């Protein structure tokens, strides 16, 4: 079987696509990529449909060996390079497609600039979908490989065992990625459970992502909020991006693996154009919130869609090498990729 | 969580949940009629064609409508739901009836004795009351395949445990406040465990994976250790099929 062998998994990488948001009515969380924008760009670089499942990396990437004739892959969402291991260790930049032949090992190291990044492969993975999705929800062991994160020794079967040679593509436009504007929030459904002072403090203050951050949600540190009508409600539905405030007054932004229903008041919801930005954040990152209307949120989402389409249209040619052998040669000649070794 | 009919005929509130979902809220309490209004709109919306609809999630007191904002808009979805509200009618909700065998007490129901003590009833009476009531699935949530079933007899009402358990086995039948449930998967939990059913309420390798859906009706039938073990062995051997009780008019 052709595939990618997980030599060393790193920090619990999972397969993620656009999730399964249509089965929340039986209690199954939507799951899916924390940063669907990066996933789409990664898929576009390797010529996949946007919703193809890729490996979602957090904190520390894996070491993977090619057990197929050739694969094309792209790392998107981090400035960290793809390290290609061998006699000479070379680095291929992220945000471009690369083609690697059988036996090559690649490694993605620590992700110091993002909460999440994606490693997409041309053709995607040959894994059985659950409710139409390969997304992994580890708490209930749904999707991915046996419902769990990847671990050492796994073989991820490929749909396409031999990626043909072609010009590689590069995404030079990084404007979709770094963005310091306030995170936009639509109030509701339970904004009336909070005092006016608390709403003012929420939108006026600065918050930080705490270490309690995972695929289910991120707990924020910042102004503590007061409930005006108690902190228990009769459970209702939860949308991705909901800002839930339990009894301690510390808000939690709920992300892809959120439960489908909950019994804490929800002050507002991060708009869909900004949810991927929360997914990208790391513990310690600062953020502010701004209130917007639903009309504004819909306009912002259209603007994001346009921006993604433009970014993909503007892909340019990658540095002119055809495969990793050429990368090696090129590296020896010009040292155009950063190497830890001195160029002879 | 008390009965409250003040919202009986009040029009629902349309609440915002960002740009990918909206909430149609019929009340703020656990109430059978409020829940039926939720369910009726849910059924009407499921039967209708709504462009960009992603999912409909009924809860105790509201319907969450998930939609794709790249296909539709809040205005369009709300407009369609308002039309459906006028057409939804007032027919009673009659869901499928399930009867789950339950081994009550001992290690299967480690809280039965304590519940008996705290309610001033005998353990036998607790079982009789719990198994003597037909419940409705007010909503799904917390985990895949878990239904919140209500309403339990008043004599059995207790707040959640002070110390939630880290591990509650799948199949555990539990009560808290005025509700009961069956833990569909192993998980942490703070409800009082009365017994256990051998039936897998959620099984990824079965079609359908989740047995219950909001609106279904549920009864519990006390069984002995022998019946429990036999069914458990059958399920473990891969025969996880379990059907609702046939209703009048059905073959």
Write the ipTM: 0.92
The CATH code that applies to domain A183-307 is 2.40.100.10
CA angle B142–B147–B149, rounded 5-degree value: 125
Segment B122-153, tens digit of pLDDT: 999 999 999 999 999 999 999 999 999 999 99
Burial pattern A43-79, b for ≥16 Cβ within 10 A else e, equals bbbbbbeebbbbbbbbbbbbbbbbbbebbbbbbbbbb
DSSP label at A340? S
Angstrom distance (rounded) from CA B204 to CA A282: 33
Of chain B, the percentage scoring pLDDT greater than 70 comes to 95
Angstrom distance (rounded) from CA A104 to CA A66: 5
Do B204 and A266 lie within an 8 Å CB cutoff? Answer: no
State the distance between the two ends of chain A, measured CA to CA, in whole angstroms: 39
Average pLDDT over residues B27-40: 93
Which of A193, A206, A297, A196 is CA-nearest to residue A244? Answer: A193
Do A242 and B17 lie within an 8 Å CB cutoff? Answer: yes
Position A224 pLDDT exceeds 90: yes
pLDDT at site A65: 97
Stretch among A275-284, A324-333, B20-29 having the lowest mean pLDDT? A324-333
Q: How confident is the model at residue A326 (pLDDT cuts 50, 70, 90)?
A: low
pLDDT at site B89: 76
Of chain B, the percentage scoring pLDDT greater than 90 comes to 82
Position A336 pLDDT exceeds 50: no
Strands B179-182 and B172-176: antiparallel
Segment A18-35, tens digit of pLDDT: 999 999 999 999 999 999
Q: How confident is the model at residue A328 (pLDDT cuts 50, 70, 90)?
A: low
Chain B nearest C-alpha distance from A90 (Å): 41
Please give the model's pTM, rounded to 2 decimal places: 0.92
Q: Which two tokens stand for residue A212?
A: 């309690």
Average pLDDT over residues B167-194: 96
Helix (H, G, I), strand (E, B) or coil at B239: coil
Position A49 pLDDT exceeds 50: yes
pLDDT at site B90: 78
Burial pattern A248-271, b for ≥16 Cβ within 10 A else e, equals eebbbbbbbbbbbbbbbbbbbbbb
Which of A115, A153, A111, A154 is CA-nearest to residue A15? Answer: A154
Of the candidates B29, B62, B66, the beta carbon closest to that of A239 is on: B66
Do B55 and A233 lie within an 8 Å CB cutoff? Answer: no
Of the candidates A27, A142, A187, the beta carbon closest to that of B146 is on: A27
Residue in the block written with tokens 């990824």: B204
Stretch among A47-51, A316-320, B110-114, B199-203 having the lowest mean pLDDT? A316-320
- Mean pLDDT score across all residues of chain A: 92
Do A233 and B66 lie within an 8 Å CB cutoff? Answer: no
A96 pairs with which residues across the strands? A170
Of the candidates B58, B59, B185, the beta carbon closest to that of A140 is on: B185
Please report the domains of chain B, with CATH numbers, ordered by start residue: 13-87 (3.30.1360.40), 97-236 (2.40.100.10)
Domain ranges of chain A: 3-171+317-334, 183-307
Helix (H, G, I), strand (E, B) or coil at A102: coil
Position B85 pLDDT exceeds 90: yes
Within 8 A of B1 by CB-CB distance, chain A residues are 234
Sign of CA dihedral B15, A193, A263, A58: positive
Average pLDDT over residues B54-66: 97
Q: How confident is the model at residue B110 (pLDDT cuts 50, 70, 90)?
A: very high
Segment A164-176, tens digit of pLDDT: 999 999 999 988 8
- Mean pLDDT score across all residues of chain B: 92
Q: How confident is the model at residue B94 (pLDDT cuts 50, 70, 90)?
A: confident
pLDDT at site A220: 98
Within 8 A of A238 by CB-CB distance, chain B residues are 64
Which of A26, A29, A24 is CA-nearest to residue A141? Answer: A29
Position A114 pLDDT exceeds 70: yes
């Amino acid at each position: 079987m052709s595939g990618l062998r997980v030599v060393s998994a790193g920090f619990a990488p999972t397969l993620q696509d656009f999730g399964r948001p249509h089965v929340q009515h039986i209690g199954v969380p939507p799951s899916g990529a924390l940063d669907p924008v990066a996933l789409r760009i990664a898929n576009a670089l390797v010529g996949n449909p946007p919703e193809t499942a890729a490996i979602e990396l957090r904190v520390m990437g894996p070491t993977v060996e090619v057990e197929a004739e050739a694969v094309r892959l792209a790392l998107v969402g981090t400035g960290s390079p793809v390290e290609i291991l061998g006699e000479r260790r070379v680095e291929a930049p992220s945000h471009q497609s690369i083609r690697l032949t059988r036996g090559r090992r690649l490694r993605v190291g620590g992700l110091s600039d993002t909460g999440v990044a994606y490693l997409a492969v041309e053709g995607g993975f040959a894994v059985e979908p659950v409710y139409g999705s390969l997304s992994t929800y580890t708490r209930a062991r749904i999707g991915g490989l046996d419902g769990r994160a990847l671990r050492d020794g796994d073989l991820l079967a490929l749909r396409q065992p031999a990626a043909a040679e072609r010009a590689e593509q590069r995404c030079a436009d990084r404007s979709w990625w770094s963005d310091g504007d306030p995170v936009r929030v639509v109030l509701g459904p339970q904004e009336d459970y909070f005092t006016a002072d608390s709403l003012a403090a929420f939108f006026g203050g600065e918050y930080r992502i705490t270490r309690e951050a995972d695929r289910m949600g991120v707990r924020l540190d910042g102004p503590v909020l007061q409930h005006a009508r108690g902190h228990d409600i009769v459970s209702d539905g939860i949308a991705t991006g909901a800002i839930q405030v339990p009894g301690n007054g510390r808000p939690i932004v709920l992300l892809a693996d959120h439960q489908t229903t909950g019994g804490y008041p929800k002050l507002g919801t991060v708009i869909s154009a900004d949810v991927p930005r929360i997914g990208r954040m790391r513990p310690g990152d600062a953020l502010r919130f701004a209130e917007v209307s639903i009309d504004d949120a819909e306009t912002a989402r259209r603007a994001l869609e346009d921006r993604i389409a433009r970014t993909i249209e503007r892909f340019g040619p990658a540095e002119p090498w055809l495969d990793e052998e050429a990368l090696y040669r090129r590296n020896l000649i010009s040292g155009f990729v950063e190497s830890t070794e001195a160029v002879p | 969580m008390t009965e409250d009919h003040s919202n009986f005929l009040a029009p629902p509130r349309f609440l915002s949940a960002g740009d990918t979902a909206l909430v149609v809220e019929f009340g703020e309490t656990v109430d059978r009629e409020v829940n039926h209004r939720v369910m009726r709109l849910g059924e009407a919306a499921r039967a209708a064609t709504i462009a960009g609809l992603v999912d409909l999630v009924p809860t105790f007191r509201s319907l969450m409508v998930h939609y794709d904002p790249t296909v539709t808009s809040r205005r369009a979805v709300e407009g369609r739901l308002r039309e459906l509200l006028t057409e939804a009618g007032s027919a009673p909700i009659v869901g499928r009836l399930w009867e789950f065998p339950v081994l009550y007490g001992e290690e299967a129901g480690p809280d039965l004795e304590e519940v008996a003590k705290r309610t001033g009833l005998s353990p036998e009476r607790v079982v009789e009351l719990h198994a003597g009531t037909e419940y409705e699935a007010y909503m799904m949530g917390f985990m895949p395949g878990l239904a919140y079933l209500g309403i339990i007899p008043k004599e059995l009402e207790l707040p959640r445990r002070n110390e939630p358990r880290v591990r509650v086995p799948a199949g555990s039948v539990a009560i808290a406040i005025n509700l009961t449930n069956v833990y569909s998967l192993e998980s942490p939990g703070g409800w009082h465990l009365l017994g256990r059913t051998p039936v897998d309420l959620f099984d990824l390798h079965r079609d359908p994976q989740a047995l219950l859906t909001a609106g279904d009706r549920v009864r519990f039938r006390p069984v002995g250790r022998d019946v429990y073990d036999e069914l458990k062995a059958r399920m473990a051997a891969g025969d996880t099929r379990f059907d609702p009780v046939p209703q009048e008019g059905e073959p």
